[in-house]
Structure 1
């Protein structure tokens, strides 16, 4: 049996790597990386007329489901 490749820990590492590459000025500070990403995700939602709050709530529910597994 192969090891899972999409566990919450792996997902966290992947997003950290991606954010570190996108925002090198943050010097790997996780809180800053998250702040920059959340700001830019709001800009993206605005450009595509998507309600960020509703999408965030859906993401939170998915997070809770994954965390419970």
Structure 2
């Protein structure tokens, strides 16, 4: 009888593993982050490609020096 129970317990574990592989739980959405549309993401990317977004080399070194002080 105990061997039958052990086999049943083992089957239950294997079924849980199989279920986890075939039907993974959905990850709940994090309420702290906004979902962006593809158009919004593309506009952000376009903004990053603009040279004026990054400023000049002098501005960069000025910012770095200000951080050190």
Same fold per superposition (TM over 0.5): no
Higher relative contact order (CA 8 A, sep 6+): 1
Indicate the structure with greater helix content.
Answer: 1
Q: TM-score, normalised by structure 2?
A: 0.31
**Larger C-alpha radius of gyration, 1 or 2?**
2
Q: TM-score, normalised by structure 1?
A: 0.31
